[in-house]
Amino acid sequence: MRPLRLKASGTPITSSNFQGIQEMTDAEIQQYLSYVITNKYADDWDGTLTGDLNMDTANALSGSAIGTFTDTTRDDAIGTHPTAGTTTDTTYYFKQITSAASESITNRPLGWETSGDVGFNEFTDAELDTDVLDKVINDMVSESDYTVGQFHLAASSPTGGTWTSRYTITDTVLSGNNTTYLWQKTAPTSSANSDLSSITYDSGMKQMTAAQVEQMVPNFRNRIVEDYGTTPGVGCYLVQSSTPSETGTWTQMGDVAGFSDTRQEVDSSTYAGSYTGAFTGAYNQAFSGEYTGAKTYTGSYTGSFSGDYTGNYVGTSAYSGNYAGDYVLYYSGYVGGTFTGYYTGFYTGAKTYTGYYTGAYDRAFSGDYVGTSNYSGSYTGYFSGSYSSDFSGTYAGDTVKASTETVSTIKLWLRTA
């Protein structure tokens, strides 16, 4: 059964151009009933009414879950090395209200019944669902010029009519955030033709006012979510990366590429290049290398010494040379006497010597050495100070990079058939 409207030869309808009553075509339903019902549906949106979409990050809003988006961002700044690669995650929870709305229609459209109780009859709830509201839902999901209420997920406002941003979703990235919005169409492209209003019985046949048509909005909401317990119906949404596998035809609403969670890449890289920097502290590791230059040295020295030596010498030395001094000795061979006097002659033998020695000295020396010496050789020990040099090798550990990677992508899907 189709709703009825007044027929006239012109607009506005007057007694002079009135021609009778006729059934409304699909186009006429779209241009008035669909216009009024969907505009009221969008005007009343607050995220809590049947059929509404909502979204939050606390998962505290009511409704049936239709999908999530998780934003991940690195905890460490770009260039951090080493990094554990940890992230801070924020999850956006999308829902659609599927609880039933309270219905109350005092003025119903009239239709012409061709079987049973033939004649003018008010639409029953079942007839209203299948013969009027299903048509209104189809007009909305097909995005006709006369309907509003549909949602898009896009970075900028869609074209055609007026779109209102209901929610903001952010992909937090160290190198610059990305943002998208959940838009709802709130004003149509074309205006309604009030001459195409359906008729009702109100102390006689009359054209329905906009307020009377709006009484069907709760029924419209319920019709959208009627079968949600088994499968989302036409007018229901899902948020996921690819076409839903649920029954029906699903159309993506919004940017074709969807919306992605991106974050800085973390990578273990081999680094070769020039490194210059101050190093202060204990370099607790064997350092081996050739050191050449002046060295102030204090400590014990043991080794061979060859060269000129000047200094005090105390010790015993082999001596051969002339000796002059007093000599007392028994003279063997002359009986009965001793000889005392000055003797000069050649002495050969061991000599305890204390005195000042100047000359060439070539033998092993052991003792304390204090002074500055040219040193050339191998050095192993601790290093503390400024280190400036070229470093080439493996730079171990992960680094937070300036480049980004895509973690996941979501798209908004609407069941259209």
pLDDT < 70 positions in the chain: 269-396
Cα–Cα distances (Å) from 23 to 37, 137, 307, in that order, read 19, 20, 131
Residue 12: predicted pLDDT: 86
Q: From CA 256, how far away is CA 287, in angstroms rounded? A: 61
Report which DSSP code applies to 416: -
Kindly state whether residue 344 falls inside one of the protein's structural domains. yes
Q: From CA 222, how far away is CA 235, in angstroms rounded? A: 11
Residue 273: predicted pLDDT: 46
Kindly state whether residue 134 falls inside one of the protein's structural domains. yes
108 lies in the same domain as 250: yes
Residue 361: predicted pLDDT: 52
Is the whole model's pTM more than 0.75, yes or no? no
161 lies in the same domain as 309: no
Range of the domain at 216: 4-265+408-415
Q: Are 286 and 307 in contact (CB under 8 A)?
A: no
Q: In 3-state terms, what secondary structure has residue 343?
A: strand
- Give CA angle at 300 (296, 305), nearest 5°: 85
One DSSP character per residue, 179-191 reads EEEEEEEEE-SS-
141 lies in the same domain as 72: yes
* Nearest to 412, CA basis, from 203, 226, 259: 259
279 lies in the same domain as 153: no
Q: From CA 176, how far away is CA 264, in angstroms rounded? A: 10
Kindly state whether residue 383 falls inside one of the protein's structural domains. yes
Residue 383: predicted pLDDT: 47
Domain count, the chain: 2
Kindly state whether residue 254 falls inside one of the protein's structural domains. yes
31 lies in the same domain as 128: yes
Kindly state whether residue 301 falls inside one of the protein's structural domains. yes
Kindly state whether residue 399 falls inside one of the protein's structural domains. no
**pLDDT, tens digit, 9 for 90 and up, residues 315-349:** 666 656 555 555 455 444 444 555 555 555 555 66
Q: From CA 45, how far away is CA 383, in angstroms rounded? A: 72
| Element containing residue 19 per DSSP (H, E) | strand 18-23
158 lies in the same domain as 99: yes
Q: In 3-state terms, what secondary structure has residue 161?
A: coil
Tokens representing 373 are 């010496």
232 lies in the same domain as 335: no
Q: Are 331 and 339 in contact (CB under 8 A)?
A: yes
352 lies in the same domain as 376: yes
One DSSP character per residue, 82-122 reads S----EEEEEEEEEE--SPPPP--SSPBEEEE-SSS-EEEE
Residue 10: predicted pLDDT: 83
195 lies in the same domain as 287: no
Cα–Cα distances (Å) from 384 to 228, 298, 389, in that order, read 73, 19, 15
One DSSP character per residue, 368-415 reads EEEEEEEEEEEE-S---EEEEEEEES---SEEEEEEEEEEEEEEEEEE
229 lies in the same domain as 331: no
Kindly state whether residue 398 falls inside one of the protein's structural domains. no
**pLDDT, tens digit, 9 for 90 and up, residues 261-312:** 999 999 986 554 444 555 455 445 544 655 465 665 555 555 555 555 555 6
Kindly state whether residue 223 falls inside one of the protein's structural domains. yes
260 lies in the same domain as 325: no
298 lies in the same domain as 330: yes
